[in-house]
Amino acid sequence: MTLFTPMLRDSPLSEIFSDENTLQRMLDFEAALARATALCGVTPESSMTIISAQCQADKLDIPAIAQAAAGAGNLAIPLVKQLTANVKQQDEQAARYVHWGATSQDVIDTGLILQLREAIDASEALLEQLISALIEQIQRHQHSVMPGRTWMQHALPITFGLKLAGTLDALLRWRERLQEMKPRVLVLQFGGAAGTLASLNEQGVAVAQALANSLSLNQPDTPWHSQRDRLLEVASWFAGVSTTLGKFANDFSLLMQTEVAEVGEPVAPGRGGSSTMPHKRNPVSCAAILTATTRIPGLMATLYASQNQQHERALGGWQAEWETLPQLITLAGGVMQTTRELFSGMQVNTDKMRANLDITHGLIMAESITLALAKSLGKQAAHHLVEQLCHRALDENQPLAALLEQHPQVIPHLSSTQIAYLLDPQHALGSNDKFIHQVLARAAQQNREPT
């Protein structure tokens, strides 16, 4: 389905999970295993160089491996078979030591962990770009007043900067979680046939440590063939970041509606057009993001279901991860890449934001009037009075200010100047600026902290 890759998975993460790179990372395990067993004196040192030299994906017949995997049950068995044959052509004795002490799942899982390390590094770079672009937009729009909306209706005034700061706040937490997660998930898988490394006798732990060192991975306390919580944690991180960005895309697309028109996606030739309607400017970036985030929960459900793995090696659950996790991560990569472009090039119509505050003739500021009158009339009486005047303003299509200035219960307590002040959205932003400052300060602090 490569036709959809530019639309949904156009990020550096897609290449990380290509067929070639998947097999190459498995070969990286085999080369490191040859080095580790030779270093520990389990296999001849001479075999290490010969085996390592053949651990290159371009020396494999990839279609043949794929075809053979259908009968073998996994990719590792035909990969090791081809690797052994290639080594044997160079040195028959060295071929005896290919894959020494390992099992198929060790190769596949550790290869996957090496891919995940690449994916995490690439995602970390994308996340930094997202955060930087968002900070710039927040600083630009921290005073851009707009309607806040609850239940899809006008609520109270906010600033667009605060709306963006909510997304930044979440992304900063995802950045923290990523740093916490890496030591737990970037670990070696090496347990042999049943997770005991019995074929290596007393050298098992030493070989495992040498193998982990060679691959720059942490050494777990036990092999984790059927304990898949690490992969679930990785998947949850990618899914979580995607849903945060999906929430932003959903809000952004709503603000792009013709009747609202407060924001717009970046402009480029041919972008967002319609095959029949020349005037259309569709939110194509938001559509791509929401398409991916609609699929991700189902992929997460598969990974949760696959946690139920039998005994020391799974039947079905492990295998269900092979396509599901890469699909989820590459979709998440596309979400991050597309959102980065959206953050950087978004168009913001501050005049329309301000105009939309006035479409209810001042009703969005009714709470300010209520609180001011409550000091004299009491909260319940003030609320009832202002509610009645709001209904009149709507029914008679009049500004709320005019009705307030004429009402006998209001005149003794609020002057026209006070009413105008209370109905000005700029004076009803509460702690808006404080919240933005706090988020920006935390972003600056994280940027100074060593990772």
Determine whether 47 is exposed, middle or buried from the number of CB atoms within 10 Å of its CB (0-12, 13-18, 19+).
buried
Q: What is the CA radius of gyration of the chain?
A: 30
Residue 218, C-beta contacts closer than 8 angstroms, at least 6 positions apart: 183, 186, 187, 188, 212
Under 8 Å between Cβ of 245 and 291: no
The Cα–Cα gap between 318 and 313 comes to 8
- Of the candidates 139, 131, 34, 151, the residue with the CA atom closest to the CA atom of residue 87: 34
Q: What torsion do the CA atoms of 249, 255, 259, 261 make, to the nearest 10 degrees? A: -110
Location of structure tokens 């052994």: 84
Residues with catalytic annotation?
274, 313
Under 8 Å between Cβ of 19 and 57: no
